[in-house]
Chains A and B, each alone.
Chain A
């Protein structure tokens, strides 16, 4: 019985690790790549807006190079209007991409590091293989104990394909 409990403990730990990996956030490198991608897009947008303002001024229209355009999602309740505005392009056009990156990068470094996609897949595969071995051993142990006259309950999440193998 002690051996069975140890096996179940190991199974539980591996299942928890597997769940953690599945739920795990992206790795720091992935978040950095997202940041770079966002900075590149925002930089392009940031250059386009003042350029458009200059072009309009040349066409005789009002000069408004830092005018922020946004979208308001009006909720149907009196007095409430959710409003969001992406200021990234505007700030990048004024402060430059490097300054924005310098202020955001430390936040990424503070994140707990996650596994990179390949490492994640490898660890998951290793856990699956180990779980299969442990659960098969657990079932064999239960059968032994049952044959010795003990009544052992199987785990509610025990896999039918292993029990009935």
Chain B
């Protein structure tokens, strides 16, 4: 049995775990930022403006500056909100994809560690 390779693969898996933790943290921050921005923008606005702010990203991004101004919203603010939500959405899909990779890697590592254990070479993860 190639113990060096096993240890290398465990290291790679641990690296994947760390990268996932960082990505998940970035995702949480992005979600909080987008929510904070929405909350700030909905303070002191009328119902129409609030409905606009709560629209899905693509609809919001497609709105004309005049429409926004008519509802008392600044186009610049809306652009920032769209960017924040898009970042959160992108990080969400990246986090989900990486979670799947991590799950797959965990299965492989578990099999390898069990295989080593059965051959009397226990490995600490």
Contacts and interface: CB of A to CB of B under 8 A. Distances in A.
Interface of B: 1-3, 5-6, 9, 12, 101, 104-105, 107-108, 111-112, 114-116
Nearest to B19: A151
Contact of B101 (A153, A155, A163): A153
User: What is the interface of chain A mostly: helix, strand, loop, or mixed?
Assistant: loop
A164 B2 contact: yes
B82 to A, nearest CB: 32
B99 to A, nearest CB: 13
Contacts of A156: 104, 107-108
B115 A161 contact: yes
A165 to B, nearest CB: 7
Contacts of A165: 2
A99 interface: no
B7 to A, nearest CB: 11
Contacts of B9: 163
Most buried by A among B108, B114, B115: B108
Nearest to B3: A164
A44 interface: no
A155 B9 CA distance: 13
A164 B115 contact: yes
Nearest to A158: B108
A151 B108 contact: no
